[in-house]
Amino acid sequence: MRKLSPTLRLSFGIMSLTMSLLLTAKLLGLLPDPSASELEARKKVCEALAVQLSMTTERGRIEVVEATLQSVVERNPDVLSAGLRQTGGSLLASAGDHVKFWRDIVGTASTPTHVQVPIFQHDKRWATLELVFTPLSTTFSLGNLASVKNSFVGLFAFVIMAGFGAYFLFLRRALRELDPANVIPERVKAAFNALSEGLLIIDEQENIVLANSAFAAKVERTPEALTGRRISDLDWRPWKAGDGVDNLPWRRARRSSESQVGVPLLMCASSGAMHSFMVNCAPIVDDSGKTRGILATFDDITEVERRNAELQRMKNELEKTNDEVSRQNHELRFLASRDPLTSCLNRRAFFECFETALA
């Protein structure tokens, strides 16, 4: 699975932090609440209309009440219907399809969409003004996508989409400017790429600051893909069984601030090919003597090791051949000096022993 780039990971992180701050501000009540303002406006409309209808009903002009209600419904898009209901339950006047829109409310409490205001005559409740409003525009509804526009959900979605894109573009430009590889002049990079052996510059956290083309080719990656990656994340194998990751030469050089020369290491490339390297590491120190990084060179000895293994195999086969020849010579000497029937020394053996004794 392909890993996300640092720019994407940082963008996701900043986006998550921004969302957390927005949610916290929402919970603390620091964000302006449009629904509260809209409810306050509806409250004032209802109170003003109730006062006007109280004065009109005292004069007994029901036709004026109905005209007033009709005018309110026509001039306010948020008002679906309006009605004046007598205490007994009969509807004295209405505007809009009030019978359809109005629903009975338990008690005298109102809701954001269904409001009832008492009308008094001579200090006695005589009727109730009923107004039906559209749902608040700041209330989110899955069935009404237009409600997203003025809701917190809409703000949340906008910040996620627009904010992530803005963060990504900004971070990509900023990281490009802050890329340590861009600080190194092109002529220095060209000189490093001209080397036949692999070369790496590593920072204190073992992140690769610069990789030349020779090393990138050996590990089957591009220099740009290696930049910013931890060198220890590559598939290194110990040369000898028992060597752990703490024995890697660049770690020893960083701990001891001393150069490590001729350290053999194995590394498995992406294709599965095994490479043998002779690694040299030198610490990069500042004016105070503190190690700030490591300069490491990697001499590929894979072919040399292959030839050494082939020579060792041929040597082992030659030794086996010499042993076989010695055995056969010994057997020939035995056959040449013994009688086939009795296995006693023959005439040839007698003369060899006699000449030795005579001398």
Give the pairing of strands 91-95 and 198-203. unpaired
Per-chain mean pLDDT for the chain: 80
Select the highest-mean-pLDDT range: 23-37, 85-99, 236-250: 85-99
56 and 114 both lie in a single domain? yes
We report the CATH number of the domain holding residue 211 as 3.30.450.20
The two three-digit tokens of residue 75, written as one number = 């001039």
pLDDT-based confidence at 1, cuts 50/70/90? very low
Task: Write down the pTM of the prediction.
Answer: 0.42
Q: What size, in residues, is the chain?
A: 359
Alpha-carbon distance of 301 to 267, in angstroms, equals 12
Per residue in 273-308, pLDDT (tens digit) is: 888 888 999 998 887 788 888 999 998 888 887 888
Residue-wise burial string across 230-246, b where 16 or more C-beta atoms lie within 10 A, e elsewhere: ebeeeebeeeeeeeeee
103 and 196 both lie in a single domain? no
211 pLDDT more than 60:
yes
What domain range is 64 assigned to? 34-133
Give φ, ψ of 104 to 5 degrees. Answer: -65, 140
289 and 193 both lie in a single domain? yes
22 and 66 both lie in a single domain? no
1 domain residue, yes or no: no
155 and 275 both lie in a single domain? no
Q: Half-sphere exposure of 35 toward its Cβ, with a 13 Å CA cutoff?
A: 16
| Cβ atoms 207, 179 nearer than 8 A | no
**Residue indicated by tokens 């293994």:** 309
305 domain residue, yes or no: no
208 and 282 both lie in a single domain? yes
Count of domains forming the chain: 4
123 pLDDT more than 50:
yes
207 and 270 both lie in a single domain? yes
Per residue in 319-332, pLDDT (tens digit) is: 888 888 888 888 88
Per residue in 48-66, pLDDT (tens digit) is: 888 887 777 666 677 788 8
208 domain residue, yes or no: yes
